[in-house]
Structure 1
Amino acid sequence: MLPLFADQGLTARLMAARRVGLEVPWDGRAFGGEDVAATVRRVMVEEEGKALARNAREMQGVFWDTARQGRYIDELAEHLQRRRRREQDAPCT
């Protein structure tokens, strides 16, 4: 992963922590060509890349499971509704 702006750095670190990819190291100003090449080599050639690919496929199954995503949305909506009811029922101080 080569994060360039906004929340991409956070997302890259989270995905690297879940072992679905690698973040290209950078010095805070620029990405070095050797670092990019070494990271691509780790993913595409070395054994480590097979494990990353396997983990990415498993995560893809979660993201593309529309039934599961629908349940997550329903659970979030229910949680928000319960919270709103609690706030409305709470006595004013």
Structure 2
Amino acid sequence: MSWRWQEHPAPEAITRQEKKLNAASYGYKGSLGDAEYDHLISLQLGGDPDNARKLWGEPADPGHKPGWGVNNLEDAVETKLHTTVCSGKVTPKAAQ
């Protein structure tokens, strides 16, 4: 089975407001420019692009320089998991 990732962009004005409210609900007080509005289950692994309950403002990784934009090391892991699912080495459920 092949999993295909499809990007579903939303207007930035909407995502910025959602990100701000979501970050506040988690008590995040850092710069939104350094936080990624990220999915609980990666879109590459079948995550729901339209479910706001599965999104949150994810703070930058430790050691990140403030003001340098988003820096989340798990993105590379998600890509590797996507590759292993597509090759049939891992089930989508296990990768999620």
Considering the TM-score relative to the shorter chain, is it more than 0.5? no
What TM-score, normalized to structure 1? 0.34
The higher-RCO structure (CA 8 Å, 6+ apart) is 2
What TM-score, normalized to structure 2? 0.33
Pick the structure with greater CA Rg: 1
More strand, by proportion: 2
More helix, by proportion: 1
